[in-house]
Amino acid sequence: MQTRLVAIGEGRLLLYVAGQICRDGDEVMTGRCPDEVSVEEATRRARMCGLAVLAQIEQSVGLDNVVELAQVIGFVRSVEDFTEQSRVVNGASDLFVEVFGSAGKHTRAAVGSSGLPLGATVEIAAVAVVRTG
């Protein structure tokens, strides 16, 4: 399941979007930041994950029904002493603000990880407040 809706009252729901990994078509974009994948490339991949999050929102409820993006959680496959996960996750965060304007501003966690599903470089999950009708 890629999304889950939870009622919060008065015509509003929380839409949870499962973590989306970076893909180029059917191919998972793998590699660890910054020794195998540059920070700039990892940031581009985070944006691609953000596009996948938007596609899940569109498929589930439609982008026009988003009231605000409440939270984003970004995971970056990185070497032990890498400290720029937040810079990488900006690739997705900046995209959400481009698409939703001020409603795209959100709380966020940017976490380093020694491994992600299928060896992906980046994974992005999100929670949006959406209207029901």
What confidence tens digit (pLDDT) does each residue in 46-100 have?
Answer: 999 999 999 999 999 999 999 999 999 999 999 999 999 999 999 999 999 999 9
Please name the residue that has the structure tokens 């929102």. Answer: 57
15: left (phi over 0), alpha (psi -120 to 50) or beta: beta
Contacts of 88 (CB under 8 A, 6+ apart): 33, 39, 42, 43, 46, 74, 76, 110, 122
Distances in Å between the Cα of 44 and the Cα atoms of 19, 48, 97 are 16, 6, 16
Question: In this structure, are residues 33 and 76 in contact, taking their beta carbons and an 8 Å threshold?
Answer: yes
d(CA 122, CA 29): 8
Beta strands 107-113 and 27-28: pairing type?
unpaired
Question: In this structure, are residues 47 and 94 in contact, taking their beta carbons and an 8 Å threshold?
Answer: yes
> Pick the residue with more confidence: 133 or 107?
107
Which pLDDT band, with edges at 50, 70 and 90, does 132 fall under?
confident
Q: Say whether pLDDT at 13 is over 80.
A: yes
Residue 117 confidence (pLDDT): 97
pTM for this predicted structure: 0.96
Give the rounded distance of the alpha carbon of 118 from its chain centre.
Answer: 17
Which pLDDT band, with edges at 50, 70 and 90, does 10 fall under?
confident
